[in-house]
């Protein structure tokens, strides 16, 4: 798989325009599948803080809403956009709702997962155990586990790292991966 392929995959902005992630070529990207009604939804605040902290250094977060996990993103693109700006002042780019697991998975997520089949997980109780406690049968890697899984994409479009959904935006491992890519 060429390092440029992720940037060339067609995506749509949340407002409907066709585009690709090539508009961020030369920047470090954090690609996150997001949802408005998830226990992890407050991560939007931390993500926005990360974006504000590093965007002047060539960093961008791209949020891809997905309704693949317990129906936690039922809204229309307009509702999602409004929720994110009203509740979390989200200023980073959001994209149209897509599918990130299974047969109907968006080509962007096929490429991200193929590049990084496993995720870095924070210390403590594995998120899979928490899901099982809530009566959810977790996906096995390489599939996306839940909302707010994070992919760090290098300036050249190569996938540098993948972090599990419960990795908070200010987690030292995630921040370090971003800073290390920004330094290149």
Which of the residues are catalytic? 38
* CA atoms lying within 13 Å on the CB side of residue 104: 6
* Dihedral (CA of 97, 15, 82, 44) sign: positive
CA distance between the termini of the chain: 22
List phi, psi (to 5°) of 16. 105, -15
Residue with tokens 């419960």: 166
For 152, counting Cβ atoms within 10 Å of its Cβ (0-12 exposed, 13-18 middle, 19+ buried), the class is: buried
* CA atoms lying within 13 Å on the CB side of residue 38: 28
Answer yes or no: are the C-beta atoms of 120 and 163 closer than 8 Å. Answer: yes
Q: Which two tokens stand for residue 52?
A: 């504000």
């Amino acid at each position: 798989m060429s390092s440029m392929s992720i940037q060339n995959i067609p995506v749509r902005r949340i407002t409907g325009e066709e585009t690709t992630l090539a508009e961020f070529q030369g920047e470090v990207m954090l690609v996150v599948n997001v949802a408005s009604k998830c226990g992890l939804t407050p991560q939007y605040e931390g993500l926005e803080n990360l974006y504000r902290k590093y965007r002047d250094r060539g960093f961008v977060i791209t949020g891809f809403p997905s309704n693949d996990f317990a129906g936690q993103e039922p809204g229309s693109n307009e509702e999602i956009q409004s929720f994110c700006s009203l509740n979390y002042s989200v200023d980073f780019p959001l994209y149209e709702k897509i599918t990130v697991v299974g047969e109907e998975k968006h080509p962007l997520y096929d490429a991200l997962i193929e590049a990084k089949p496993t995720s870095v997980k924070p210390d403590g109780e594995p998120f899979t155990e928490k899901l099982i406690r809530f009566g959810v049968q977790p996906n096995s890697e390489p599939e996306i586990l839940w909302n707010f899984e994070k992919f760090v994409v290098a300036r050249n479009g190569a996938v540098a790292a993948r972090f599990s959904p419960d990795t908070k935006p200010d987690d030292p491992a995630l921040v370090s991966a971003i800073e290390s890519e920004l330094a290149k």
